[in-house]
Amino acid sequence: MIKVIIFDTDGMVVNSEMFSVQYNKDYGIPMDSLLPFFKNEFQPCLIGTADLKEEIKDYLPKWGWKDSVDSFLKYWFDAENHVDKRVVEAINKLRNAGFKCYLATNQEKYRTEYLRNEMGFGEIFDKVFSSAEVGYKKPQQEFFEFVLNDIKLNKDEVQFWDDTDKNVEGAREFGFDANLYRDFDKFALKLKELDIEI
């Protein structure tokens, strides 16, 4: 019996353009100037072995940002602050019905705190599992093992949702009831199996 629902952040609870797309639109900086950072220096930040503020500061002049690192991160995180209220309402209904709802997200530590505090995810969810704090990213099996050890349930009591195929495949391989999130209506249909009407 499912007792826990695990949600992904971007592409499910949050629906916004990627920051790099928004920055390209607002400041005209070519995508090929932005993407190398995210493919390289940003990756250790996601597992907590590097600090985003340190890693990004040398890039900001190249990207035409004339203000502080902190103001850049605020612009970035604010640009991606688009919560799908339908999903949040579903989470409230699930929690009221007795299900535990968790967020499982690949994030560095500063956006993790932004999600918890500025976006209210610390209240919306029973707990936030961030790769920067876990030390592993989805779809690494160690990430799912950490979550399972923390929530202290059996694998077959956990339903997992993500909009990335490889994360769903990894969670399924681990033993969760893993589902690919494509749109809200299909998600709502799946929840009917748990007797939750959205």
pLDDT digits (tens, 9 = 90+) for 58-102: 999 999 999 999 999 999 999 999 999 999 999 999 999 999 999
Q: What residue segments make up the domains of the chain, in order of their start? A: 4-15+83-192, 19-79
> Model-level pTM?
0.94
Helices 141-151 & 165-174, crossing angle to 10 degrees?
A: 60
How deeply is 41 buried, as exposed, middle or buried, from its count of CB atoms within 10 A (0-12, 13-18, 19+)? Answer: middle
| DSSP-derived secondary structure letter, 155 | G
Q: What DSSP letter does each residue of 30-46 carry, written as one string?
A: -HHHHHHHHHTTHHHHH
CATH superfamily label, 4-15+83-192:
HAD superfamily/HAD-like (3.40.50.1000)
pLDDT, tens digit (0-9, with 9 covering 90-100), for 112-151: 999 999 999 999 999 999 999 999 999 999 999 999 999 9
Residue 101: strand pairing partners? 5
Distances (CA, A) of 123 to 17, 40, 158: 24, 33, 20
Contacts of 1 (CB under 8 A, 6+ apart): 157
